[in-house]
Structure 1
Amino acid sequence: MESIEPAYGTGPLLLVAASAVAVLLFLIMRLRLHAFVALVLVSLLTALATGIPVGDIVDILLAGFGSTLASVALLVGLGAMIGKLLEVTGGANVLADTLINRFGEKRAPLALGVTSLLFGFPIFFDAGFVIMLPIIFSVARRLGGSLLTYALPAAGAFAVMHAFTPPHPGPVGAAGILGADIGLVLVVGLLIGLPTWYVASYLFGLWAGGRYVLALPEDSPFGGRDDADRPDDVPPASAGGVAVTERTQVRRPAFGTVLGLLLLPLVLILLNTGLNTLATAGVIDGESTAVQALRLVGQTSVALLITTLVAMWVLGRERFSRGEVESIVNSSLGPVATVILVTGAGGMFGGVLRSSGIGEALAGSLDAIGLPVILAAFLVATALRVAQGSATVALTTTAGLMSPVVAASDLSSVAVALIVVAIAAGSTVLSHVNDSGFWLVGRFLGMDEKTTLKTWTVMETLIGLVGFALAALVYAFV
């Protein structure tokens, strides 16, 4: 919906924006109100406070919510289905075992990290990390040394993929709100995310493992220091729709099958991006039927749909009945429903900010003080991340605040994708006690709060700083 003539000047609008963010943080942090409800409520209050006509408020709220969900829900839902199918069939075990054998035991942390990068494409951070924990514990028990040496490269890989690359809800939602090309966000996210992981997660994990000797927990549900190794044919313990006693007999897929399923959507999406680039440069005829058909196949949602269908056929045909496959993919949607709704509500908040004129006021203020858009986006995301903990809320709220600024700045499509990555970097830094990931990693690895702050929090901060530094460097030349 187009912007409505602002009812107030720059000063009052910026005051309303600051107050809206403060109220949002108060509702989430102090009153423990669910982020979805808090975002919807603050969106409504902001619309009223900025003088948007009462008759237009509901339409503006629904337009922001619906336009964001149009891009987020399909990608997140299909990505979750792919991840669940790979989880239930033991795909992570297959990747880890094969890569460790090929890399060698001395490079086991690198193998675990690469496995997590690949498996982190379709599956969320918390679910992916929990799936990998039995493998991490088994390798640490077999090879010895600090558990951090093996756990941090894997955890950092999931964190990077979750924050920087589609189809995860944060970057998808931010891209939708900012009008960025999803394919370019994927390419830029990978190009920046991979070296970021290597420096801030893998190398840091090796250093932290040498500095902090962390033994295997004695009472971990994933196998303590005195437990026998998990049999190779037993997949991780969490799955929906199929009983554990049945799943222990499931034949694991081949390494090539798992790798092919993980690379298929990437190849299709990159095909679309490449054809678009060639058509723009005049190398090929972008209007031809063949090119249009290939670009359709490479659209992110279509690419993930194709991959989901292939995964259901390849992974399910010899292992599960059709009813079991349906149950497995159905069980993947419950955990992502909250994330989808929160992301949509963030888009609603962004729609209100655009329609009220707050975005234009913020753009004018940033231009007046000379603060680069990418730096402002990073700082706002960092502040929101530190204040309330949720990376998704930080991503979507920052994208909503910055979207009018980006729209008014006449930036290239690559520059907009870099801003999405900068926001993702800001939403990663300084994970502490208000972040669920802080407690998940700390508790599962048997660390106290002080050790978690010195390891996990430092690693997350390095990921954010290195990722932003690389994005800002590229941004300076585009």
Structure 2
Amino acid sequence: MDAMIFVWLILSIAIILFTILKLKLNPAIALVLGSLFMGIASGLGAENTINTIGTGFGDLMTGIALPVGFGVILGQLLSDSGGAKVIATTMIEKTSEKYALYALGITAFLLSVPVFYDVTFVILIPLAIAVSRQISKPLPYTVGAMVIGAGAAHTLAPPTPNPLAAAEILHFDLGIMVIVGTILGFIAAILAMKVFFLLLDKGLWNPEKDETGVAVYEEHAASQKKGEPSFIMSLIPILLPVILILIGTVMDAVMDDIPEIVTVLSNKTTALLIGALSAYIISRAALTKDECEQSATEALKSCGIVLLITGAGGSFGAIISATGLADMLAETIQSISASPVLALLIAFVIAALFRVALGSGTVASITTMTIMASVPAAVGMHPVWMAIACLSGSLSCGHVNDSGFWVSTNLSGFTITGGLKSYTLGNAITAVFAMIFAIIGCLVIPL
């Protein structure tokens, strides 16, 4: 029976892949169908399977739905008020031409903490074109910097949905995910940019094959909103929730009894709520009340499908947990080798395969983390390293079935090969560095 559960898992994954790739159903529906098959085939019974699917969805949403929603509203207000553009232009203006590419990548990293990848790219692509002209570097350099910076933050740094869900699924403190994900993501992005620029210097890019020759943006004077927030004010909604969460994590580590006010304010829901409220206040100088309301409505439209897919991933995870498969997988890995490095490599490969097949980094990471949830305890490692491995794998292989690929490629005026060389390769290099850091981390700081 134990072996058959692994067979049911493979078949349920095949159902998910088939319904997404061939039937073109939404990933959330595909995940629920796969969950239904997995539960019934494994002997949970139809009624118990349905209840478990609902419980799994609800449990994950309890932990992340409000924080993600507040985070998306925060990012949309920052974008619509002009604050995101202020951050971008200020970061570039304060940097010498020598470091302009890295400044652009760091700006993309910073903006992608509260803002979805696609929105970050749309905001920054005109700036990337202007910087390319200013420093006399071909566009692939600036686009690559943006792709790497934004991809790293969106995948590894909370409060974006994937790393936020990681702490919930793998049961560890969100503040640890904030610290590790942000620091490792930032360092991996910087190193990936360096490698990517070296590859461009060595002749990776072929303008005739990799560019369409169609100018996507024409140079024009930048429009400025009335009441646009300053650079410092624009940073407040981004930094405030992170600081609050980290205060709770640090105090929990050094104190036996944390004051209740700290516990409340450092809770991820409260912290993101405060961040969203600060974004409302700061945006009011540039936006009317109706415009703020419209901005929030647009934000929730974009995050609704993300939450639905993420929650459906939670349902699949709950079914896997109910069958006992996650524990069996942990025991299997432990019997093969107790090495945490092997466990991390397996997680990375599984997430990468899901990303290649499905295109969705969210589905890839959520599904892999639920499958590997019992492994960290079995091999003696802190679950944050498993989270980094799963998230890195989900970043590694974005290509033509990924919406981010087409946003980056089309807005940059690149061909498909140009998109593969910039979006796919840039993110893959970042993923490899992040994975290396996860391996080092689990060996140096196991628990």
- TM bucket, shorter chain: over 0.9
Find the aligned partners of 2:410 and 2:289 in 1 and give their Cα distance.
37
Match of 1:442 among 409, 426, 430: 409
Alpha-carbon displacement from aligned partner over 1:272-298 (angstroms, at most 9, x marks no partner): 11011112xxxxx415xxx22113211
Task: Show the counterpart of 1:236.
Answer: none
String of CA shifts for 1:79-135, please: whole Å, max 9, x gaps. 111111111122222122222222123322122112112111101111111111121
Q: Which residue of the other structure, out of 75, 81, 92, is the alignment partner of 1:100? A: 92
Structure 2 residues not aligned, in runs of 5+: none
2:301 maps to 1:329: no
2:270 aligns with 302
Against the structure 1 CA distance between its residues 434 and 63, is the aligned structure 2 distance closer, same or farther, given a 3 Å change threshold? Answer: same
State how far apart, in whole Å, the 1-side matches of 2:148 and 2:207 are. Answer: 17
- 1:83 is aligned to 2:50: no
- 1:77-156 equivalent positions in 2, closer than 5 A: 77-156=69-148
Whether the aligned pair in 2 keeps the contact of 1:217 and 1:445 (CA below 8 Å) is no
Counterpart among 305, 308, 311 of residue 341 in structure 1:
308
Deviation at 1:398, TM superposition (A): 0.6
Report the Cα offset of residue 214 of structure 1. Answer: 5.1
Kindly indicate whether the alpha-carbon contact (under 8 Å) linking 2:128 and 2:143 is maintained by their aligned counterparts in 1: yes
CA distance in 2, matches of 1:440, 1:328: 21
Measure, in 2, the Cα distance between the counterparts of 1:292 and 1:327: 35
Inter-partner Cα distance in structure 2 for 1:85 and 1:331: 10
Task: Name which of 217, 220, 225 aligns with 1:229.
Answer: 220
Deviation at 1:325? 1.4
Counterpart-to-counterpart distance in 1, 2:418 and 2:212: 14
Does residue 378 of structure 2 align to residue 409 of structure 1? yes
Q: Is the 8 A contact 1:148 1:205 kept in 2?
A: no
Partner amino acid, structure 2, of 1:330: T
Preserved CA contact (<8 Å) 2:361 2:394:
yes
For residue 319 of structure 1, report the CA deviation from its aligned partner. 2.4
Taking structure 1 as the reference length, the TM-score comes to 0.87
User: 1:432 aligned to 393, 399, 409, which one?
Assistant: 399
1:64-83 correspondence runs (5 A): 64-83=56-75
Shift of 1:202: 4.8
Following TM superposition, by how much is the alpha carbon of 1:309 offset from its aligned partner in structure 2, in angstroms? 0.7
**1:301 counterpart SS class:** helix
Aligned twin of 1:255: 231
Q: 1:419 corresponds to which residue?
A: 386
Match of 1:470 in 2: 437
Amino acid of the structure 2 residue aligned with 1:302: T
**2:3 maps to which residue?**
11
**Following TM superposition, by how much is the alpha carbon of 1:322 offset from its aligned partner in structure 2, in angstroms?**
2.1
Query: Alignment partner for residue 349 of structure 2, among 375, 379, 387?
Result: 379
Shift of 1:443: 1.6
- Report how far residue 207 of structure 1 moved: 4.2
Distance (whole Å) between structure 1 residues aligned to residue 222 and residue 197 of structure 2: 27
> 1:104, 1:164 → 2: CA distance?
28
1:2-41 to 2 correspondences below 5 Å: 9-41=1-33
Distance in 2 separating the partners of 1:313 and 1:46: 47
- 1:377-429 per-residue CA deviation (whole Å, 9 max, x = no partner) reads 212111211222110010111111112334x52756xx111211110000011
Q: CA offsets, 1:328-372, max 9 Å, x none?
A: 112111011111000000000000000012112212221121163
Counterparts of 1:292 and 1:383, CA distance in 2 = 44
Q: What letter is aligned with 1:80? A: V
Determine the C-alpha separation between the residues in 1 that align with 2:170 and 2:298: 31
Fraction of identical pairs, as percent: 31
Specify the alignment match of 1:276 in structure 2: 252
The question of whether the paired residues in 2 share the 8 Å contact of 1:146 and 1:209 is answered with no
1:337 is paired with a residue of what secondary structure?
Answer: helix
Matches of 2:139 and 2:319, distance apart in 1:
47
- 373-382 or 76-85, which deviates more: 373-382
Q: RMSD of aligned C-alpha atoms? A: 2.0
Once residues 319 and 103 of structure 1 are traced to their aligned partners in structure 2, the CA distance between those partners, rounded to angstroms, is 27
Matches of 1:228 and 1:429 in 2, distance apart?
Answer: 33
CA distance in 1, matches of 2:5, 2:328: 7
SS at the partner of 1:476? helix
Cα pair 2:397 2:427 within 8 Å, conserved: yes
Q: Is contact 2:347-2:390 (8 Å) kept?
A: yes
Q: Aligned pair count? A: 439
Q: Name 1:286's counterpart in structure 2.
A: 257
Q: Using the alignment, how far apart are the partners of 1:214 and 1:153 within structure 2?
A: 18
**Distance (Å, rounded) in 2 between the aligned partners of 1:152 and 1:348:** 36
- CA distance in 2 between partners of 1:201 and 1:71 (Å): 34
Tell me whether 338-347 or 297-306 shows the greater mean CA deviation: 297-306
Output the amino acid matched with 2:87. Answer: L
**1:459 maps to 2:435:** no
Distance 1:320 1:432, change over 3 A: closer
Match of 1:390 in 2: 360
Distance 1:220 1:50 in 2: 55
Does the 8 Å CA contact 1:84/1:328 hold for their aligned counterparts? yes
SS at match of 2:344: helix
Amino acid at match of 1:261: P
How far does residue 17 in structure 1 lie from its aligned partner after superposition? 0.9
Whether contact under 8 Å (1:103, 1:111) holds in the other structure is yes
Partner residue, 1:239: none
* Contact 2:38–2:319 (CA under 8 A) maintained in structure 1: yes
Q: What secondary structure sits across from 1:312 in the alignment? A: helix
